[in-house]
Amino acid sequence: MAEPKKYSVWERAYVPEVVHGLLIIFRHFWLNIIGFIIPISLLKARQEVTTIQYPEERKPISERWRGRHRLNKDELGREKCVACMCCATACPSECIHIVAGEQTDPTRREKYPVEFEIDLFRCVYCGMCVEACPCDAIKMDTQDMEFSQTSSDKFIFNKKDLMS
């Protein structure tokens, strides 16, 4: 078995890496300042200033970005979820809470979720709930990445929030 590499005190203190990181930060800082004052085309260093004016300009969202969850409806406008608990069982962060109820109307499905809550503050956005759902009731294709709230209890989305 190979013996582990011995690090010097200087390397164990991470001083070279901290200094290297600070040099990168200062280089970007001064290039952005100079690029703001002097046009980039006149500079020898042909780096673009990567500032985006956020509310007016938006970065393109990747096709692979999942976004937040949503619950689907079927052709008749009913919720597709049959409260099978597969998504809650597959969720590694245990952020999905479902309370199942029996349907009294014979034209509807046997079971339905009385409560369906997802705590987005705990969710790791892995997509396991989508993979586990046998009836495609839950999806993560909203491409919504702007869901900020003022408190953590507002990140608990109920069935009504997920259906809209």
3-state secondary structure at position 96: strand
Residue 65 falls inside a structural domain? no
Q: Same domain, yes or no, for 31 and 79?
A: no
Residue 91: which of 37, 44, 145, 140 has the closest Cα? Answer: 140
Identify the pLDDT of residue 91. 94
30 plus 77 within the same structural domain: no
Examine the domain organization and report whether 82 and 144 are in the same domain.
Answer: yes
* Residue carrying structure tokens 């890496």: 17
In this prediction, residue 43 carries a pLDDT of 56
Tell whether 20 and 94 lie within a shared domain: no
56, part of any domain: no
In a domain, 47, yes or no: no
49 within domain boundaries: no
Q: Tell me, what DSSP letter sits at residue 15?
A: H
Domain with 86, as residue range(s), is 70-163
Residue 34: Cβ within 10 Å count: 14
**Model confidence at 94, in pLDDT bands (50, 70, 90)?**
very high
Where does the pLDDT of residue 144 fall: very low under 50, low under 70, confident under 90, or very high at 90 and above? Answer: confident
3 occurs within a structural domain: no
Q: Is residue 60 part of a domain?
A: no
For residue 99, give every residue at least 6 positions away whose Cβ sits within 8 Å of its Cβ, in sequence order, or none: 83, 113, 114, 115, 116
The whole-chain average pLDDT of the chain stands at 84
pLDDT band, very low/low/confident/very high, at 41 (cuts 50, 70, 90):
low
pLDDT of residue 44: 57
Split into its structural domains, the chain has a count of 2
Residue 58: HSE in the Cβ half-sphere, 13 Å Cα cutoff: 7
